Amino acid sequence: MLNYFRPKTIKECLEFITDERVYIAGGTDLMVELKKGHDLSNKTVIDLTHIPELSGVKKVYGELEIMACTTHDDIVLNKDVNKCLKALSLACRTVGSPQIRNKGTVGGSVGTASPASDPMPALMLADGRVVIINKKGEMREEKLEDFIIKPGVTTLKNDEMILSLKVKSLEDYKQSFFKIGRRKALAIARLNFAMAILMNNDETIKDIRIVVGAALPVTKRFYDIEKKLIGKKITKEVIEQVSKQISEQVLAIAGPRKSSEYKIPVIRNVINRMLKEMEV
């Protein structure tokens, strides 16, 4: 028999944490697992949806702190996110369907560590960190890149929970998010991209950030490629080169698949399209 708890505060929530804990926020993953026959008996199900402190977005010192149970729809509607991390607004807008966006949370999306998470590339774009609290009330922060180990696995310990996500404000950057799925709505991403660019006055790149997800076991930011682009102008040749490098790295990590041949031209076209959209 499962044990269900519905705490009203974070403090109360921490008291319910046991080794057998399972968190439920939007339930858009867990309820589907339950339907598939996932056994929750003997588990402690902690419902996070009645904790007001766990939802909302705060702006502090050039950063946004997005509380774990903020829904995708809340993010789409949030003015600070729209201003400081447009790519995340765009990404959350592509999640599932209106019904899913109304329930699914950004903390849940990070916690389930799905390789096809749509918010993930946008969060990584902005040096996203996970803020974690344990049963004793001790907090720690970890970079998203380190937090996600492999599909479905994170460094979150049994006595811990995700409190929030912190991202850098990229207010001055031009940003874009692009997703490829089999259909427009309710599609799991096959490939998703987030990009941010800051240009110098002389039309050279001051800073660029490129993240690719879904095609890889773990969403990846391409630091090495980014570094080589600083100071360069965006020319056809540069775009071709970047697309080739990203495609090669994606294929090297993911291994050859039936879809590999299709992915290289797609990556090139997507990068072109995103640059055009950002008007750089």
Partner 1 sequence: MKLQLNMTVNDEAVNIEVEQDARLLDVLRDDLGLTGTKEGCGVGECGACTVIIDGKTANSCIVLAASMDGCDIKTIEYLSKDGKLNPMQQSFIDNSALQCGFCTPGFVLSGISLLDRNPNPTTEEIKEGISGNICRCTGYEQIIKAVEDVRDKKYVKDGACNE
Residue with smaller CB distance to partner 1, 179 or 221: 179
Residue with smaller CB distance to partner 1, 28 or 192: 28
Residue with smaller CB distance to partner 1, 6 or 140: 6
**At its nearest, how many Å lie between partner 1 and the CB of residue 27?**
6
- Cβ atoms of 37 and 80 within 8 Å: the answer is no
Residue with smaller CB distance to partner 1, 13 or 212: 13
Residue with smaller CB distance to partner 1, 40 or 251: 40
Residue with smaller CB distance to partner 1, 82 or 249: 82
- Distances from the Cα of 176 to the Cαs of 48, 67, 199, 273, in angstroms? 31, 23, 15, 10
**At its nearest, how many Å lie between partner 1 and the CB of residue 185?**
3
**At its nearest, how many Å lie between partner 1 and the CB of residue 77?**
9
Residue with smaller CB distance to partner 1, 46 or 84: 46
**At its nearest, how many Å lie between partner 1 and the CB of residue 1?**
6
Residue with smaller CB distance to partner 1, 42 or 235: 42
Burial of 41 (0-12, 13-18, 19+ CB in 10 A): exposed
**At its nearest, how many Å lie between partner 1 and the CB of residue 106?**
16
**At its nearest, how many Å lie between partner 1 and the CB of residue 232?**
37
**At its nearest, how many Å lie between partner 1 and the CB of residue 69?**
12
List Cβ neighbours of 245 (8 Å cut-off, separation of 6 or more): 222, 225
**At its nearest, how many Å lie between partner 1 and the CB of residue 13?**
14
Q: In the Cβ-directed half-sphere of 199, how many Cα atoms lie within 13 Å?
A: 12
Residues that bind partner 1 (CB under 8 A): 1-4, 6, 24, 27-28, 31-32, 34-35, 40, 45, 47, 49-50, 73, 96-100, 102-103, 184-186
